[in-house]
Chains A and B, each alone.
Chain A
């Protein structure tokens, strides 16, 4: 058994080494607190880089951090070893990326969810408020009670941005809708606490909520489970999570972090990688609502028409979804 493992390992290493030589890039990714298997934000990135690996045969290095200080340590270690490009997942890494990118001006960095203004940094931010607006529309239309719920991870500006877009969407579809909001916790553990997520969801159901949108990383798993248990609707986030509980997963607000990571690696490989800020919204396909065979029966033609209409209006600029982060406030 052990021999087999060793063999497999060695083979993998050899292939990787060979591929690296051919393409001459050594990509790396530094994950956020939630870890690469959070079924959500980090896992989206993981899926993107895995796809890159499959398609190109180029292996990548990765690191999951356990404390704030390790962000900088990880980036510097990767940079020192010649990793290029390096993808930083999450806004918390901005400080680390800024410091290390200055030290290693020849190394390419891609940071997701935050802007770092350096010539060798590519910043990818998303218009989560636009995507959240769409699922808000769907939530309000699917709700029979007129009460929809939102469960965030930690109470930070990014999550308020999700919530704010969601509320606007829900109100757009039903001006009288009531939105119940909860945050899971105050420490990074809040991104990975399905038990607490389930409790909060049940609490909201008890208050009459019948559609709940979770923007809480791994915590969402508990929210979706609770919804499945009680026969309520849940809305996934970041990745397409419709397949988790077909029948109760109303839709997912897809944030294509996988694309961001994949594009960064691919761009570096092809020589098309460019620094600068890209803000990906509905128009760019960076965010969207997910419709597939798992949730198709739940979305009526009426709902579909309305949400597609709203989407077109947003892209056309007829609807402007307020971005919480533009002024740290949400119109109520």
Chain B
């Protein structure tokens, strides 16, 4: 049986609904801002100005965007295989550990040209390995991946605390951080690169991993839609029975996909450890893995959508920080509330407006068609 409402044109799905969702989120945020006695218009202005209005703001926004692209792609890729990877946080953490261990071992030995690709590999291997175990358990032992990946987030943070406090800590340091990597092992900052080209930009954490994020988007797009492995991955995600019929081994696809997903999430570690902090430390993942779920959801699991959603979240993060700087009464909690509302409206409630729109479009369609008789 067909749906009772008119199907929506594609542009409504892709453009109009997200805009409506964000508008609703901003409206409710506006009410909250009003309630604490601030001017919502001004607040939005500060957020936008802070996020995209000057070079430093843009740098921070893109730095956050880089992280969200990695975790968003990770969730999106797994989702195409019907897997819900909640473990981005842990995979990012362990991916960062891979970066850190590799650089601690080789930063004085290898030149940058060798270090960079090998670090990327180490990062992917560690992140992927962290996803491999839940994937294996799901594929061959029937443990649900949602549960195991959540567990592995906890295990990852416990492991990191143990390693940082007991083993990797710089001797004599009060803070559980490793020694700094040598200068030659730093992923160059964008402001340094631009400075070299004679363009001045204030210092921000934005580094060249943003380019790797863009490359990953292209690679994911090719992999999912233009290779036979991606074809098999999507078949498994849509119908496991059809996949078996088509000669695909769903268990293997689950394992391979999760490893790739974990590797993508792991690249947060590349950005944070090799790009920003230049030493191994705790808590650098800061919830990016979880936000990646919302990013993928909003971006409809497509790399282009993931980029756009990551930009939005980058703007929210950076704009939110600016808001907290500029308006003392906009505390951290209010900013988190606004971010949460955007996630709520564009993620969990993504389809709230849909039935109304469907009815609206059905009505427009009907009144547009001739010879209408009301029952």
Contact = CB atoms under 8 A, between A and B. Distances in A.
- Do any beta carbons of A and B sit within 8 angstroms of each other in the complex? yes
Contacts of A35: 332
A186 B176 CA distance: 12
A76 B203 contact: yes
Interface string B155-167: 0011011100100
Given A70-B321, A156-B161, A91 B286 contact: no
Contact of A328 (B162, B171, B286, B321): B171
Contact of B283 (A63, A64, A73, A187): A187
A144 interface: no
B232 to A, nearest CB: 37
A158 interface: yes
A54 to B, nearest CB: 17
A186 B325 contact: no
A125 B173 CA distance: 13
B328 A61 contact: yes
A216 to B, nearest CB: 14
Given A76-B203, A328-B171, A66 B286 contact: yes
B349 interface: no
Contacts of A156: 161, 165, 175-176, 282
Contacts of B336: 66
A193 to B, nearest CB: 13
Given A64-B331, A66-B332, A68-B277, A155 B203 contact: no
A6 B160 CA distance: 47
Contacts of B329: 9
A114 B174 contact: yes
A160 B332 CA distance: 29
A160 to B, nearest CB: 8
Interface in B135-178: 154, 157-158, 160-162, 165, 169, 171-177
Contacts of A92: 175
Interface string A318-332: 000000010010000
Contacts of B324: 63-64
Contacts of A103: 203
Interface in A38-76: 61-70, 72-74, 76
A325 B321 CA distance: 34
Nearest to B279: A95
A76 B202 CA distance: 11
A5 B160 contact: no
A128 B276 CA distance: 32
Nearest to B60: A73
B148 to A, nearest CB: 18
B284 A68 contact: yes
Contacts of A155: 161-162, 165
A328 B282 CA distance: 18
A188 B283 contact: yes
Contact of A325 (B162, B174, B281, B283): B174
A70 B161 CA distance: 21
Interface string A160-195: 100000000000000000000000011110000000
Given A63-B324, A67-B286, A156-B165, A91 B175 contact: yes
A154 interface: yes
A257 B199 CA distance: 43
Contacts of B60: 73
B95 interface: no
Interface of B: 34, 37, 60, 63, 154, 157-158, 160-162, 165, 169, 171-177, 203, 205, 272, 276-277, 279, 281-284, 286-287, 321, 324-325, 328-329, 331-332, 335-336
25 contacts: A9-B37, A35-B332, A64-B324, A64-B331, A66-B286, A66-B321, A67-B286, A67-B287, A68-B284, A73-B60, A77-B325, A91-B175, A95-B177, A95-B277, A95-B281, A114-B175, A155-B162, A156-B176, A156-B282, A157-B173, A157-B176, A186-B161, A187-B157, A188-B283, A328-B169
Given A35-B332, A61-B325, A94-B175, 17 more contacts: A6-B37, A61-B328, A63-B325, A67-B284, A67-B286, A68-B281, A68-B286, A69-B63, A73-B205, A95-B281, A155-B162, A155-B165, A157-B165, A157-B175, A158-B174, A188-B283, A328-B171
Interface of A: 2, 5-6, 9, 33, 35, 61-70, 72-74, 76-77, 91-92, 94-95, 103, 113-115, 125, 154-158, 160, 185-188, 325, 328
